[in-house]
Structure 1
Amino acid sequence: MTDPLARIPYVDGIISAAQVAETAASIAAMQEDCGSVPWTTGEHTDVWNHVEAAMAMLVGGQVEAAERAYAWVPTVQRADGSVPMKIVNGVVEDPRGEVNMSAYLAVGVWHHWLVRRDVRFVQQYWPTVRSALDWVVSQQLPFGGINWTPTESFALLAGCSSIYHSLRAGVALADLLDDPQPEWELAGGRLGHALREHRDLFADKSTYSMDWYYPVLGGAVRGRDALEVLEARWDAFVVPGMGIRCVDTNPWVTGAETCELAMALDGLGDHRRALTLLGDMQHLRGEDGRYWTGWVYGDGSTVVPEGEPRDVYWPVECTTYTAAAVILAVDALGEVAGHSTAGSGIYRGTSLAPHFTELALECGCPSADDLSRLAGGAA
C-alpha cells in the first residue's frame, strides 16, 4: 500500500513529513465553511494569505480543502478584477482593492498546475487570473511601481516584488493555455527595472523586514545584487537561534517572515543559512502542528518598554499564514535531499516564465536593448 506521507515534503532533522501533514491539517481546521481561510479563527481573510494557505494545504496533502479555498476566490472578485482588502465571516470589512492580493491567485494556480498537472483546473481559474492581472497592470505608475490601491498613489516595495512574481506566474499560465498577454510582459519589464534600480521611489517601509528581502524572494533581484541586498541588513533583522524580526526596532521575531527569508536564500543557493533559519523558528511550533505568529524576547541586549510583553508569544494566536510559510519553506528546502513536491521551486522561480525584458523605460535609464547595443559597440 502506498505511504500516504510519501509525497509530503520534509527536512531531515528539522521537521518530518508527519509533522508537515499535521500542520496542513491545522490550516484546514481553521477553514470556514465557504472555503475562506482567515488569519486565525474569527479573524479576517485577505486573498494573498488565503492563496498561500491553499498552496500549503495542497503540499501537505489537504487537497480537497485546498481546492475549496481556490473555489472561494472568484466569489469575492469584483467586475474590474480586484478583490477586497479584508473579509470577515463573509462580509467585506475593507472594500479597497489591493493590487498584491488581487495578483497572487496567479501564483496559486500555477503552483497547483505544477503539483497536480490538472489543466481543467487551470482553465477553470484562468478568467479570474486574467481579470485580476489586467486590473493590476492598469494601476502601474510612471516609474514602474504598481499603485497600492486606486485611491492611494504610492507603491509598496514588498507588495510590488510579489506582483513581479505573480506576473511571471501569469505569463507561464498564458503560455500553457496559448493565450498570450504581452501587456503583462511589458508591465513586468518596467516593474522589474523599478525593483532593481529605483527602490528609493517606493514608499519607505524600510523598518519592516519584508521590504528588505522581498525584492529577492519575488525574483526581481538575483545574483550578486541579491546577496548584497541581504547582507546589507542581515544583522538588523536576524536574531540567531530565534528567527528574524518583523520590524527592526522591535524585539519580536516572526515565523512567516523567517520562512520567507529562508526561501529567498534558497533561491540564491544559500541552503546552509536557509536551513538554519527554518530550524531556528521551530520554537514557534505549538500543539496540533499549529504555529504561533511570533515571540517577543528580552535577552538583555534589547530594551522592552515598561508594561510591554517580554519572553512571550505575541500576538497570542496561531495563524494560518505562519503555518503556510513553514510548509512552503519545507517544500523548497526539502528538494535538496529529494523530499519535496513538484511545486517546490515556486519561489525559486525555476518553473516560472523567464524574466521580463526591460523596454521603453520612462525613467531615463538605458534599456536592455540599449545596453546590448553599447556592449556590441564596445566590442
Structure 2
Amino acid sequence: MGKSPEEIYNERAKRIQDATQLKIPDRIPISIEDEGVFVSHGGFTWADVMYDVEKAKAAAKKIFLDLDQDTHALPFILCPAQIYDILDYRQMKWPGAKLESNRLDNPNNVYQFMEPDAGFEAMHPDEYDRFINDPTDYMIRGFWPKVSKTLEPLKNLPAMWHINSYTRLPLLAPFGSPEIANALEALIEAGKEAIKFNQALTEYVLEMVNLGFPPRNLAGCSEPFDFIGDYMRGTIGRMLDMYRHPEKLKEAVEKVTPMIMEQVLAQAEAKLKLLNDAMPQGRHLKHVAMYLHGGAGGFMSNEQYKEFYWPTLRSLLMGIIDAGFTPYMFSEGVYDDRLEIIKDLPKGKVVWHIESDVFKAKEILGDTCCIEGGPPASIMNAGTPDDVKAYAKKVIDVCGKGGGFIMGVAHSLLTAKYENVKALVDYTKEYGVYQ
C-alpha cells in the first residue's frame, strides 16, 4: 500500500525543516519557485494567466505535479490584471492591458515593473516628513493618487484627523464630488476582484496540500529599505538620498519596520491556521519570504549596507524568528561582499537563497544559515539537461556536504527550458541522497 498524501507531505516538510536547522536530511530537498515556466508548460500565455486565475491555478498545479519536488508555490502572477485595469495602475505594464499605455505588446511577456519617475511620479524628498508623520494619510492622499490614474482624485480628500467634531463635518464635502465617488467605486470594484482572486488561491493551496505538497512560504513582505526605495523613491532616488537626505531616509525606513512586521506576522499566522485546519497532523513549514533588491552589490557599499540596510533588516528578521517563524531570504543580485555581515544571525533559523556565488556562501554562512541555490539562468535557459546535471553535481558535492542545503535555481525561471528544470529535480533526487 502506498503512502498517504499526509505522509508524503510530512516527509517533504521534514526534509526542508532538517536542512533549515542545519541537520542532515535523507536527501537534499528541492524547492523551486516556478515563476515563468509554469505558464509555458501549462500551454498558456502571460495574458491568459493574469486575466484568468483558474488558468493560473491549473498551470501551477500541473508543473508541481510534473516536477514532483518538495514544495509548491503560488502562481507567480502577484495580482489579477483586472485590478490593474480598474486602477489604471502606473507601477506596472502587463500583457493584455485594456489601455495601450499600460500594455506590453507580446502576450507571452511577463509583466514589467515601472520605476518611479519612469512609470509615475515618485515620492519627492520634501515629502519624507509628511510620510514619516502619518504614513496612512500620505499613502491615501499623496502616494496612491500618483500610482493610480483612477485614484488621482483622492489627493483632494480632507485630512481625516482634522474632522474631529460636529463643527468639522462640513469638511466632508469632497466626498460628495463625482470624482471622489468614482474613485471609491473603483476601489470597491477592485476589492471584489481581490476577494475572488484570494479565494481562488486559497482553494489552490488547500488542493496542493491535500496532494502532499507543503507551501514554500506562508507569507511575504518587503525589506524595510526596499519598501521605500523600490516603490516610493526609486533606484536613483534612494541612491541620491543616502548622500543628500541620509537621516530622513533612515527615519522613514525605521518607521515602516514595525508596520511591516505586524502585517507579515498576521499574514503568516492566518496561513498557518488555514493549514492546521486542513491538516491537523501536518508538519507545516513556517517560512516567511523576503526578496531583497536594493542591498545588492553595485547599489551601495558595505559601509552603506551596514548603515542603511542591515539594521532594520536584522531587526525584522529577529522579530520574525522570535515569533516562531523562519525567514526565507531571496538575495537578488551579487551578495558576495555581504556574507560576513548577514552571518550575524542565530544558528539554524534563516534560509538564504543566493543568486551569485553559492559556494562562497556555503563556506562563510554554512555553519550558521541554511543555503539555497543552484544552476544559474545561463544553464537553465540555454544549456542542456546534461549541463544542468553537471552543475548540480558540483553544487551537491560542495554545498550539500554536511546538510544545511536546499537545491533550487540561482535566478528566476522566466525563460528556462522545462526539460532542464525536470532534469535538476530528478538528478537531485538520485544523486543528492545522504548515505
Q: More helix by proportion, 1 or 2?
A: 2
Q: Is the TM value for this pair above 0.5? A: no
TM-score by length of 2: 0.27
Larger RCO (CA within 8 A; separation ≥ 6): 2
TM-score by length of 1: 0.29
